[in-house]
Structure 1
Amino acid sequence: MYRDQSSSAGARRVGITAVGSYLPERVLASEELQRGVAESSGLPLPPRMLERATGILTRRVAADGEYASTLAAAAARTALDRAGLTPADIDLLLFASASRDMVEPATAHIVQAELGSRAHALDVTNACNSFVNGIDTAHAMILAGRARRALVVTGETPSRAVRHRPADLGQFRDGFAGYTFGDAGAAVVLEPVPAGGILDVDTETRSEHWPVGGIFGGGSRHPREEEHTYFHGDGNELRDVFEKVGTSVLDRVRHRTGLGWDDYRHVLVHQVTLPYLERFREITGVPEDRLVVTVPETGNIASATLGVQLDRVHDGLRPGDRVLFVGLGGGVSITTMVWEKA
């Protein structure tokens, strides 16, 4: 468990000053995805099963020449432009994503080469919590005096871990969570601010559940086996873990900060499927009008979820408006962050 109350007396304030996101051009409907899987595998899938089970109508899919770094760099350019900055103004660049271009080198270097920056560059990875963990890491490094201004980016391409030709119904079920995936990029600029900023961070990690779901190939356990390049997982088991642990984290945030749902302009939540999001609302009591619902049109875009949601509402925020981030990631971890617009 980790907690950080950055609004304590005498503390410097660091906040998000610009946001950008990027969605690939190609739109893939659930109906089209299901039809392709059924035709290639011969499985008798019920009509509109994917759409009905997940609430996902469409998702974006990266083109053949687009990579995790491509999506991240596109979002980064937007964020820098909105901040009135150039790549040379950044002295810390974090690529914080579940996806990456390759095992080595760090994808942050590829993004940096695309942008033309000379910042200290490194990767931060923690499944779907990667982006919010990257923001937290950059925040801490600025507070520690290790950086002046940071650019945190993510580029998620989980659609490339989808099993399009399952051998049988068992394989289809094992990889079902993969059919929720979509691709996206997001970026934020962090720097010292005169007021507001990141007020609170909390995390809960239950690593005993790490085998529940993931893409297990490409590392030292399964370096070259194609079978392990697909997403495997039990979505119901992941949901059970989050339900058991997640409410206690939110209770801690409320008790520590004194902030209730009405004190937030928006509550940004990682979204896997629409039924999962509805269950989250049911067990937490968060008002529906505080949520930014993206999953029906983007699918599960992994760690880019919170960044894309923030980009959609950022222009409408006024100084003093607060946003609660709720990240959920395989492994299993939950991360919350309270941010107030300066």
Structure 2
Amino acid sequence: MIQPSPHPRQAPRVGITAVGSSLPETVLTSEQLQQRLAAENDLRLPPGMVTRMTGIMRRRIAADDEYASTLAVRAARQALAAARLTPADVDLLLFASASRDMVEPATAHIVQAELGSRAHALDVTNACNSFLNGIDLARSLILAGRARRALVVTGETPTRSMRRRVGSLAEARAAFAGFTFGDAGAAVVLEEVDTGGIVDVDTETFSEHWTVGGIPGGGSRHPRGDEHTYFQGDGHALRRVFEEVGADILDRVRTRTGFGWDDYAKVLVHQVTFPYLERFVEVTGVPKEKLEVTVTEFGNLASATIGLQLARIAPSLRRGDRVLMVGLGGGISLMTMVWEKS
């Protein structure tokens, strides 16, 4: 008869063990952006209109020689340094972003070539949920024994899809959501941990709303043509969709984990505009002091939003602190992740 082990091995846990971020140096205020729009399009815009409608004061803009991979590499090096690792210590590299350097090859290879690692490298793309999806995929591959240590990076340059010249009021309305964008990079290291780690993940998709907003160019539908390289979308329609699908996903997290708002050190949520964030607080009831507000200073950073927030709060977190991450992405997709610092 086989006797059970007196010390059965616990189910493995995977956690975030280091975080990094990067921001371009160039700052563009909303007032400067509005002045440029007025000058280039001969538009008469009410003073402070962009700031008033978005709550965004300024954002960072990547230089001409800075790419999505550039921001990702800088963040990756910061995360590896924080973990006291070298690129050779990583056996899985995921570039998880809505932006990319080019259609082919995967931007992960460009990042890897710059870092000098030999990890299995691939891209993960799902609009503003790309980074959270990448973390979840890396966690799954580690749990499956396919990887030992993963580096998940994002480099977002959505300002390059911002339409600067508009020929009509209708074009201006369709382009306005793009005026919220800012550029940034983020990175995390994931590996097995003894305690804590990522303890809960949930996802929900409403793909019937995929036409609400996006960048149509670069694929088989619109492979060429500048007209399709700009972000197009209806910000009000996008907000209505997110309110329509509701906060059921947060209720499910609460039911599964038993965690209330007081059990989290921070709640990190994707931020499009400040009014959207205020509406999120109103709908969900999350205490404002639990949030890490980045949208006013950096704009809508696409999938780098939560990564930058995570990097900003990481130094203040203590072992056992829990963080709830809430992702909202075009498509439409929702995602939650509960992480406990090891």
TM, length-normalised to structure 2: 0.97
2:318 alignment partner, SS class = coil
CA contact (8 A) 1:43 1:169 kept: no
The alpha carbon displacement at 1:150 in A equals: 0.1
Q: Which residue is equivalent to 2:295?
A: 295
Residues of 2 paired with 1:23 and 1:96: CA distance?
A: 17
Residues of 2 paired with 1:109 and 1:256: CA distance?
A: 38
Q: Which residue is equivalent to 1:4?
A: none
CA contact (8 A) 1:213 1:234 kept: yes
Q: Which residue is equivalent to 2:30?
A: 30
Task: For 1:36, give the aligned amino acid.
Answer: R
2:148 alignment partner, SS class = coil
The alpha carbon displacement at 1:122 in A equals: 0.1
Q: Which residue is equivalent to 1:156?
A: 156
CA contact (8 A) 1:43 1:168 kept: no
2:209 alignment partner, SS class = helix
Residues of 2 paired with 1:235 and 1:190: CA distance?
A: 34
Q: Which runs of 4+ in 1 moved over 4 A?
A: none
Gaps of 5+ in 2: 1-8
2:247 alignment partner, SS class = helix
The alpha carbon displacement at 1:241 in A equals: 1.4
Higher gyration radius (CA): 2
Task: For 2:262, give the aligned amino acid.
Answer: D
Residues 1:10 and 1:240: Cα distance change in structure 2 (over 3 Å): farther
The alpha carbon displacement at 1:10 in A equals: 4.0
Please tell me whether residue 16 in structure 1 is matched to residue 12 in structure 2.
no
The alpha carbon displacement at 1:244 in A equals: 2.2
Residues of 1 paired with 2:10 and 2:251: CA distance?
A: 26
Task: For 2:188, give the aligned amino acid.
Answer: V
Q: Which residue is equivalent to 1:327?
A: 327
Residues of 2 paired with 1:265 and 1:246: CA distance?
A: 24
2:151 alignment partner, SS class = strand
The alpha carbon displacement at 1:169 in A equals: 1.3
CA contact (8 A) 1:90 1:151 kept: yes
Residues of 1 paired with 2:244 and 2:340: CA distance?
A: 28
Task: For 2:196, give the aligned amino acid.
Answer: G
Q: Which residue is equivalent to 1:242?
A: 242
CA contact (8 A) 1:21 1:187 kept: yes
Task: For 1:304, give the aligned amino acid.
Answer: A
Please tell me whether residue 194 in structure 1 is matched to residue 194 in structure 2.
yes
**Percent of pairs identical after alignment?**
72
More divergent stretch after superposition (96-105 vs 231-240): 231-240
Q: Which residue is equivalent to 1:254?
A: 254
2:146 alignment partner, SS class = coil
Question: Alpha-carbon deviations, 1:205-225, whole Å to 9, x = none?
Answer: 000000000000000000002
Residues of 2 paired with 1:70 and 1:77: CA distance?
A: 11
Q: How many residues align?
A: 334
Residues of 2 paired with 1:304 and 1:298: CA distance?
A: 11
CA contact (8 A) 1:246 1:334 kept: no
Please tell me whether residue 272 in structure 1 is matched to residue 301 in structure 2.
no
Residues of 2 paired with 1:260 and 1:234: CA distance?
A: 33
The alpha carbon displacement at 1:282 in A equals: 0.5
Question: Alpha-carbon deviations, 1:30-63, whole Å to 9, x = none?
Answer: 0000110111111111111000000000000000
Q: Which residue is equivalent to 1:113?
A: 113
Question: Alpha-carbon deviations, 1:180-228, whole Å to 9, x = none?
Answer: 0000000000000000000000011000000000000000000002111
Task: For 2:76, give the aligned amino acid.
Answer: A
Question: Alpha-carbon deviations, 1:115-159, whole Å to 9, x = none?
Answer: 000000000000000000000000000000000000000000000
Q: Which residue is equivalent to 1:215?
A: 215
Q: Which residue is equivalent to 1:95?
A: 95
Residues 1:139 and 1:246: Cα distance change in structure 2 (over 3 Å): farther
1:126 alignment partner, SS class = coil
Task: For 1:307, give the aligned amino acid.
Answer: G
Q: Which residue is equivalent to 1:307?
A: 307
Q: Which residue is equivalent to 1:6?
A: none
| Structural mapping, 1:35-74, within 5 Å | 35-74=35-74
Residues of 2 paired with 1:278 and 1:158: CA distance?
A: 23
Residues of 1 paired with 2:173 and 2:136: CA distance?
A: 35
Task: For 1:39, give the aligned amino acid.
Answer: A
The alpha carbon displacement at 1:11 in A equals: 2.2
Residues of 2 paired with 1:24 and 1:260: CA distance?
A: 36
More divergent stretch after superposition (229-238 vs 243-252): 243-252
Gaps of 5+ in 1: 1-8
The alpha carbon displacement at 1:239 in A equals: 1.1
**Alignment root-mean-square deviation, CA:** 0.8
The alpha carbon displacement at 1:230 in A equals: 0.3
2:60 alignment partner, SS class = strand
The alpha carbon displacement at 1:237 in A equals: 1.2
Task: For 1:82, give the aligned amino acid.
Answer: A
Residues of 1 paired with 2:189 and 2:135: CA distance?
A: 9
Residues of 1 paired with 2:152 and 2:116: CA distance?
A: 15
Residues 1:48 and 1:154: Cα distance change in structure 2 (over 3 Å): same
Task: For 2:252, give the aligned amino acid.
Answer: R
Residues 1:110 and 1:273: Cα distance change in structure 2 (over 3 Å): same
